[in-house]
Structure 1
Amino acid sequence: MKILVACDKFRGSLTAREANTTILEALASSRLEAVGADVAIADGGEGTLDALLSDSLTLTTSTITGPFGGTVEAPWGLDRAAARAVIEMALAAGHHMVTAGYDPDRATSAGIGDLIRAALDEGVTEIVVSVGGSVSVDGGAGALEALGARYFAADEEPVVSPAGRALHTVESVDLSRLDPRLAGVTIILAADVDNPLTGPRGAARVFGPQKGVKADDIDAFDAALNHFADRIATATGAPSLATTPFAGAAGGMMVGLSAAAETRAVDGFSLIYAHHRLDERIAEADLVVTGEGSLDAQSLSGKGPVAVARAAQAAGKPAIALAGRVAATPDELAANGVTAAFAIGRAPATLDDALKAAKTSLFDTARAAFDAVAAGRRLG
């Protein structure tokens, strides 16, 4: 029997690779006779860089502007042979960097521009920017500024590091000093959401609260993002991206980066799927095992583990899902290719205790699931 293990992260406790390794260890200690292989998956958010690492794409580190000022060290991926770089925004301007509270009027994406310049120094012509898990709501203004853009107010005074509601003070955008190397580069945004920049499903209204935007301020942030998109459109001579799918990801990164270079957005999981040739791996497996921290309504919208299960279903292969919590009904899961789902919690516990015990809980639950499969095979 061949088993493919393809997990996403268990946020706050296990990376995708750690989850996969734990499940393979459980398989080895179970009564099921099987050969296991694994693939770390992600959807454009945390873990995307790790999921794309290979013999050709290796890690490097650069000193960049932190999301709240100062400097930080950020890892990124470089494939010299393919002239390709992979930047993960969650690692350069992510939630783990919040130490003194969220500040959406200050959080900047400038570090992403710094990493793009570092990639240009290595001669790359394609840059993948994984945009999930960011703390900024600056329309990509910081990244664009780091790449050479300048902003001016109505009185022609410079506007430096605009973010959040301060985007409304930008009346003109000067792109004349952009790094000339950007002309030969394609930027691919790997997104975990397809929301537009503004409106009911926009960056401020849907994702702003988790970045510190107060309920009473959402309309102001939404208007500021729309204003900035209009000013970028004037500077580039292109239509505003305010209603464009994916433009709301990472606080509007598409808006700023589209003014710097040819930019297109893709579903993050599709990038991982193609990179690992998951269709071929699933076709070779007898059973697929996937998982993540929370299997819920967001998962059913097509997040990584459910996308894996759907692919398994299309290939006629059963799929088991393991999760910290299962918040979807059996019928919903079955309709999306999940043959069986198991919550790994072994007893009532606080969130902190559950996260600390995640590895042990995942191991025990996976082993029990594999023992059940083994018993079913013997009975059959």
Structure 2
Amino acid sequence: MDILVSCDKFRGSLTAREANAIILEALASSDLTAAGNAIAIAIADGGEGTLDALASPTLAFRTTAVTAPFDGTIDAPWGYDGAAGRAVIEMAGAAGHAHVTAGYDPDRATSAGIGDLIRAALDAGAREIVVAVGGSITVDGGAGALEALGARYFAADEEPVVRPAGRALRTVESVDLSGLDPRLSGVRIILAADVDNPLVGERGAARVFGPQKGVAADDIDAFDAALAHFDGRLATAKGAAPLADTPFAGAAGGIMVGLAAAAPTEAVDGFSLVFRQQRLEERIAAADLVITGEGSLDAQSLSGKGPVAVARAAMAAGKPVIAFAGRIAVTPAELAAEGVCAAFAIGRGPASLQEALETGGASLAATARAVFDAIAIGRPKG
């Protein structure tokens, strides 16, 4: 039996690589150890972990000091493939939830660190820059990133507006793009996203994702209006149409709006990018069993996030899928319809959320070992 192990992260507990490694160790110690070969491929959908999921022998991991989302600087990881002239950046690493230490503040959180990383990529010689946008805490329309790349903003009285975010985007009346880094003319930016929401409106950045970043219910309309205003001012500056209704423009607090003013920018489904690079179609076809998992199998998973996308591809290839999760909030029938033959919650008993996160590795190992031993019982000997 050849087995493909392809997990997403168990948020707050295990990275995709860690989860894969634990499952491989459980397999090696089970009664299935002599049954065939197993390989592991980390997956992600454009959020945290995408840098790892896009790893290749030629992608070198680097760390650069960048502007923090609130104050000071942080060290942010990124990758560069010199052979392909391609850089990979994660917003989660430069402007993500892990950097919130004193509460969310969507009127201050800036995407400037993303601009800093793009500059570092330009310094390295990048011609293509992938920005994985999931897991951000910003609602600044990409204003911070664009400013870090050389743009300048001005209020109605022509006074400079520095690092506008949230409702302060409404104060920007003109944008000067003449100072943009000239090297940007030679690159293209690819946004790897896990959502395709437009910038504004009922499915927009402020209304759908703002509350996760500290936007109060009574302030959603103001944030929505500020994003629309900033989008309009940038459109005027670059002589192009606004991006208000563009799919993916609402991802990561509207980061597309700012980056599209800096360089040719397109957005893609993050998982599809990983799927192609890691040749998952080919690897699924070669497997007898596919194992996947993530922290929570829920309604969002059914929309096509990583593990369910893997299961759909496996179902199309006629391959069975087993899934592991910290919690399962959908029915077996719903999972079966997506190609998951069996799903197992890894909890080993009553526990608080913190306890469950801290013991996730041990729980996954014990559950996976038990499942593999059970599979072995049903297999013919010899």
> TM-score range with shorter-chain normalisation?
over 0.9
Q: Deviation string for 1:133-158 (max 9, x for gaps)?
A: 01110000000000010111111111
- Rounded to whole Å, the distance in 2 between the matches of 1:80 and 1:237 is 34
Is 1:38 the counterpart of 2:40 in the alignment? yes
The CA deviation at 1:376 is: 2.2
Compute the displacement of 1:170 (Å): 0.6
SS, match of residue 136 in structure 1: coil
**How many angstroms apart in 1 are the aligned matches of 2:24 and 2:121?**
36
C-alpha deviation, 1:235, in angstroms: 1.0
Partner of 1:129: 131
Cα distance between partner residues in 2 of 1:49 and 1:129: 9
Partner Cα distance (1:87, 1:72) in 2 = 14
- Deviation string, structure 1 residues 90-116 (Cα, Å, up to 9, x no partner): 001110101111110000000100110
Structure 1 window deviating more from structure 2 (369-378 vs 194-203): it is 369-378
Using the TM superposition, give the Cα deviation of residue 71 of structure 1 relative to its aligned residue in structure 2, in angstroms.
1.0
CA distance in 2, matches of 1:167, 1:75: 28
Cross-structure match for 1:15: 15
Task: Name the stretch that deviates more: 49-58 or 306-315.
Answer: 49-58
Provide the residue aligned with 1:254 in structure 2: 256
1:314 aligned partner: 316
For structure 2, list consecutive stretches of 5 or more residues without a partner in the other structure.
none
CA distance in 2, matches of 1:333, 1:140: 37
Q: Which amino acid aligns with 1:268?
A: G
- Note the C-alpha offset of 1:53: 1.7
Give the match for residue 2 of structure 2: 2
Shift, 1:237, TM fit: 1.4
**How many percent identity over aligned positions?**
77
Cα distance between partner residues in 1 of 2:287 and 2:113: 41
Equivalent position of 2:114 in the other structure: 112
CA–CA distance in structure 2, aligned partners of residues 257 and 154 of structure 1:
23
Structure 1: where are the runs of 5+ without partners?
none
Cα-to-partner distance string for 1:258-282 (whole Å, 9 max, x where unaligned): 0000000000000100010000000
Which residues of 2 match residues 118-157 of structure 1 at below 5 A? 118-157=120-159
TM-score by length of 2: 0.98
Moved more, 59-68 or 30-39: 30-39
SS in 1 for 2:285: helix
Q: Please report how far the alpha carbon of residue 211 of structure 1 lies from its aligned counterpart in structure 2 after TM superposition.
A: 0.6
Aligned to 2:338: 336
Q: Could you say which residue in structure 2 is the equivalent of 1:28? A: 28
Cα-to-partner distance string for 1:310-346 (whole Å, 9 max, x where unaligned): 0000000000010000111111101111111000011
Segment of structure 1 superposing worse, 63-72 or 310-319: 63-72
**Aligned counterparts of 1:17 and 1:104: Cα–Cα separation in 2:** 31
Alpha-carbon shift at residue 207 of structure 1 (Å): 0.8
| Distance across 1 between alignment mates of 2:363 and 2:190 | 37
Distance, in Å, in 1 between the alignment partners of 2:188 and 2:224 is 28
In 2, distance between residues paired with 1:164 and 1:69?
A: 16
Q: In the alignment, residue 142 of structure 1 is paired with which amino acid? A: G
1:367 counterpart = 2:369: yes
Q: How big is the shift at 1:122?
A: 1.1
The match for 2:230 is 228
Q: What is the number of equivalent residue pairs in this alignment?
A: 380
Cα distance in 1 between the residues matched to 2:71 and 2:185: 28
Q: 2:88 & 2:378 partners in 1: Cα distance? A: 43
**What letter is aligned with 1:81?**
A
In structure 1, the residue matched to 2:56 is 54
Distance 2:89 2:97 in 1: 16
